Structure 1
Amino acid sequence: MLSMAGLVGGLILLIFLTIRGMNILIAAPLCALLVALTSGIAILPPMAEGGQASFTVDYMTGFAGFLKDWFIVFLLGAMFGKVMEDSGAADSVAHWVVQKLGMRHAALAVILACAILTYGGVSVFVVAFSVFPMALSLFKEANLPRRFIPAALAFGSVTFTMTSAGSVEIQNFLPTSYLGTNHFAGWQVSIVVALFMATVGIFWFEKMMARAQANGEVFDVREGDPEEKNYDVLPNPMLGFVPLAVVLGTSFYFSVILDFGKSALVVALLGGLLSGILIYRKHFKNLGAALSVATLGALIAISNTCAVVGFGSIAKLTPAFQVALDYMTHLPGNELIGAAVAVSVIAALTGSASGGQAIALPLLAPHYLAEGVDPEALHRVVAISSGGLDSLPHNGYVVTTIRAICGETHQSAYLPVAALTVVIPFVGAILAIVLFLLGL
């Protein structure tokens, strides 16, 4: 009972501290310590009997394990995103999408611009930073409530693109290491689910904005808003699609044809990075400085994820976690339901889709594969499920996008974010399970 109270209390405290603005590198180990104390886990190795678990060792084992496995991917992804950003290629692609759709579909233009860049391999954080000034300008001209900008950025970046078949985001590649699949696993179902999430999400988003406008909400200009960018000096938008196509094509060849597993993602991002540098070499002010900034960004991004993975590493040692995991993996009905529930809960616990998968898959994959579950179906369900409850208020991307990039508060902006990035993917996971059960 105390273990369960500590586990739930630690999660609630982590969410609270994150919302209050505490650095996740401080909040996560602090909350993990609470979980350890309420479950009788030794704090230091000398306090552990017979080589049992200890807080300091196991927290850092989880932290360092994720760092070891994924730092190269985070680094290349950040550098590729920075090349696309610093050269103006990301702005060029996004601006081209906006021009094609026009002001009547301002919100849709922001969503699609984010979706194209994210699916092409640009980091979700870079996409948010790149598209925000354009979104601000569009929402201002269309007089749309600016508190909905974080929802538009998040919906286009971390839902129907991030976890779809063919996506080169880490959330779609993590299952390959444990299930022996590739990142196109379950592509038929993935297409249907992605179209469903995109269609329903856009419809719901526009309904929420229309309701807000009917209640008198308008765009509010604030002191310190960034100046509108000059889009006349950007590179050709068609050239902007070339590195994205290189990433997608290379990832397909090395993953599906050569079966390189997650190494295909390294090759794909490296290919995109080199092609971007080659194509835009005349557009950089200081390439070396840009890549240095990207390196720092990669360290921050992966450290934040490692911090919540460390929290999850302590959580999974507790009796409460083992009881909950046993319950979830033995739910009545199809095994895909248990997998979806387990991954969703662990992703919620860590506030990270990739962190949740990193903790859940080593425990779940052997169990469900031994039960004869189709690995391709399991891959797709795990990927989609991880992208739902991960977007609770303490999620690093959510906090950064709402507060640091858009200058909003959780109170004003989180509700539409939650509707589009928690509810829609959750329903999408249910749809995926139903389609797999129907044999699609």
Structure 2
Amino acid sequence: MVGVIAIIVSLGLLMYLAYRGITVLVLAPILALGAAFVAGGADAHVMATYTETFMKAFANYCKSYFPVFLLGAIFGKLMDDSGSAKAISHAIAKKLGGDKAILAVILACGILTFGGVSLFVVAFAVFPIAMQLFKEADIPKRLIPGSIAAGAFTFTMTALPGTPQIQNAIPMPFFGTDAYAAPVLGIIAAICMFAGAVVWLNFRVKKAKAAGEGYGNHPNEKIVEIDEKNLPSLGLALLPIILVLVINFIFSKFVFVASRYNGDYLKDYGTKLATVSGTWSLVIALVISIVITILLNLKNLKNPKESVNQGAIGSLLAVVNVSSEVGYGNVIQSLAAFTIVKEALLGISSNPIISEAVSVNVLAGITGSASGGMSIALGVLGKTYLEAAVQQGINPEVLHRIAALASGGFDSLPHNGAVITLLSICGLTHKDSYADVGMCSVVIPVCTLVLIVILATFGVV
């Protein structure tokens, strides 16, 4: 019982202290080893737990996912510095006009994130355009974070088949799937999240206008004028995004498949083709798209080398943060008391789809990270879920899509780093805007997840 209490207290402190701004890099090892010490008592081997459990899991996660974090960050930085992200956002905004400001912002964010641009780059790129649109339409500024979150933190992050976001890449090696897993479920989920957010935010606009509330007075705000002459054309801006999706699809569906590619040699590396093919396809797609982005934007990129360097350096914090959370999860998993917690999670339902949906969502909420929570849950229970799915005749692709969708629910609670950053970019507070951010990136995605779990139990893939 002491061990279970140690785990619960450790998880609670992780959530609270992360919300208070203490980095996970410090929290994860301290809280993990603290739980191990309390649970193990005199038999706890704290230093061995740190080097052989925490750091081993940390290193294994980096090995598997660092290329995706690295290349995704470089690609996003190039799209930002070349003006491509702003060109796409501006073109959509111009086409739809100020009277459809909500829809324009959601679509702009959605296209960019679906194309592989990181969530943070999207927020920085779209916010200046969102300000102009909302001011022109006299829509309250406090609704901008919810609109950006709806486009960047939801359907294109976890639902749409083929999205190169890390949340869609993490399940691949666990279930032997690719980025296009469970396409029907993914598309249904994307439609529900998109439509739900549009309906909610437009309802909020009508309510604000009825109350006589407009854009508001923001004296410290600086409206940045978009210079169209220095932006690439829409076609050139979209091409790298299209390439990521198309190349990823070709390699995952037609090149790295057992019937065409002999992966027998992978046995010597202790793996198999199904485990690595999805990651390989995404890495190749991003590399080619990065090269094409540089070549197409030599005039717009002031210093391509600097953009690549900054993107690469920027990826380090993200991957190390998640790796630390995975290390934390593996230490907790190694404790004898975790058997009770594991049985409780598995006892939620004999159906692995339901159990996975709950465990991923809860852990994503505790860690405040979609990728971190999902990595911990799958690292601990992924093999068990896969075995149960095989026994029950459930397609592993369903487990992939459910895991991805579940990671994008409770992760966006107020302590989430992306939420805090988004509000900071917009110059607003949780009190100003979190109600709408929470509705669009927590409530609607969780309701969508429930619907998808129901459909999945009836065999929809």
Fold equivalence (TM over 0.5): yes
Moved more, 87-96 or 353-362: 353-362
Alpha-carbon distance change, 152 to 5 in structure 1, aligned in 2, over 3 angstroms: farther
CA shift at 1:43, angstroms? 11
Q: Deviations over 1:7-37 (max 9, x none)?
A: 3333333333333333333344444344334
Q: Distance in 1 between matches of 2:143 and 2:66?
A: 32
Residue 250 of structure 2 is matched in structure 1 by 253
Which of 366, 388, 398 in structure 1 is aligned with 2:419? 398
Helix, strand or coil: the match of 1:295? helix
Q: Is the 8 A contact 2:15 2:366 kept in 1?
A: no
Q: Distance in 2 between matches of 1:205 and 1:11?
A: 33
Q: Distance in 2 between matches of 1:411 and 1:16?
A: 18
Q: Where do residues 243-392 of structure 1 align in structure 2 (5 Å cutoff)? A: 243-259=240-256, 260-319=277-336, 321-332=338-349, 334-371=351-388, 372=390, 373-392=394-413
Q: Distance in 2 between matches of 1:252 and 1:438?
A: 27
CA shift at 1:83, angstroms? 1.0
Residue 119 of structure 1 is matched in structure 2 by 114
Q: TM-score, normalised by structure 1?
A: 0.91
Q: TM-score, normalised by structure 2?
A: 0.87
CA shift at 1:424, angstroms? 1.5
CA shift at 1:407, angstroms? 2.6
Q: Distance in 2 between matches of 1:414 and 1:378?
A: 30
CA shift at 1:326, angstroms? 1.5
Residue 89 of structure 1 is matched in structure 2 by 84
Residue 231 of structure 2 is matched in structure 1 by 234
Helix, strand or coil: the match of 1:284? coil
Which of 202, 205, 208 in structure 1 is aligned with 2:204? 208
Alpha-carbon distance change, 80 to 324 in structure 1, aligned in 2, over 3 angstroms: same
CA shift at 1:315, angstroms? 3.0
Q: Distance in 1 between matches of 2:138 and 2:327?
A: 43
Moved more, 272-281 or 134-143: 134-143
Q: Is the 8 A contact 2:15 2:367 kept in 1?
A: no
Q: Is the 8 A contact 2:97 2:133 kept in 1?
A: no
Moved more, 301-310 or 370-379: 301-310
Alpha-carbon distance change, 313 to 415 in structure 1, aligned in 2, over 3 angstroms: farther
Residue 190 of structure 2 is matched in structure 1 by 194
> Alpha carbon RMSD of aligned pairs, Å?
2.3
Alpha-carbon distance change, 364 to 11 in structure 1, aligned in 2, over 3 angstroms: closer
Q: Distance in 1 between matches of 2:210 and 2:85?
A: 34
Helix, strand or coil: the match of 2:431? helix
Aligned AA (1:429)? L
Q: Distance in 2 between matches of 1:344 and 1:43?
A: 33
Helix, strand or coil: the match of 2:80? helix
Q: Where do residues 62-73 of structure 1 align in structure 2 (5 Å cutoff)? A: 62-73=57-68
Alpha-carbon distance change, 209 to 286 in structure 1, aligned in 2, over 3 angstroms: same
Alpha-carbon distance change, 43 to 243 in structure 1, aligned in 2, over 3 angstroms: farther
Moved more, 298-307 or 166-175: 298-307
Helix, strand or coil: the match of 2:170? helix
CA shift at 1:152, angstroms? 1.5
Residue 440 of structure 2 is matched in structure 1 by 420
CA shift at 1:109, angstroms? 0.7
Moved more, 7-16 or 334-343: 7-16
Aligned AA (2:362)? V
CA shift at 1:97, angstroms? 0.9
Residue 184 of structure 1 is matched in structure 2 by 180
Helix, strand or coil: the match of 2:157? coil
Q: Is the 8 A contact 1:42 1:55 kept in 2?
A: no
Alpha-carbon distance change, 41 to 239 in structure 1, aligned in 2, over 3 angstroms: farther
1:220 aligns with 2:240: no
Which of 96, 100, 103 in structure 2 is aligned with 1:105? 100
Q: Distance in 2 between matches of 1:362 and 1:29?
A: 17
Q: Distance in 2 between matches of 1:137 and 1:109?
A: 12
Alpha-carbon distance change, 316 to 88 in structure 1, aligned in 2, over 3 angstroms: same
Q: Distance in 2 between matches of 1:342 and 1:314?
A: 17
CA shift at 1:362, angstroms? 3.4
Q: Distance in 2 between matches of 1:19 and 1:216?
A: 35
Which of 147, 162, 171 in structure 1 is aligned with 2:157? 162
Q: Deviations over 1:371-395 (max 9, x none)?
A: 2232111111111111112222232
Q: Is the 8 A contact 2:363 2:373 kept in 1?
A: yes
Residue 410 of structure 1 is matched in structure 2 by 430
Q: How many residues align?
A: 434
Moved more, 318-327 or 101-110: 318-327
CA shift at 1:253, angstroms? 0.8
Aligned AA (2:6)? G
Aligned AA (1:39)? A
Alpha-carbon distance change, 318 to 222 in structure 1, aligned in 2, over 3 angstroms: farther
1:146 aligns with 2:141: yes
Aligned AA (2:70)? L
Q: Deviations over 1:224-246 (max 9, x none)?
A: 53533323321111111100111
Gaps of 5+ in 1: none
Q: Deviations over 1:238-260 (max 9, x none)?
A: 11110011100010011121232
Alpha-carbon distance change, 98 to 207 in structure 1, aligned in 2, over 3 angstroms: same
Q: Distance in 2 between matches of 1:148 and 1:66?
A: 37
Alpha-carbon distance change, 216 to 31 in structure 1, aligned in 2, over 3 angstroms: farther
Identity %: 41
Aligned AA (1:358)? S
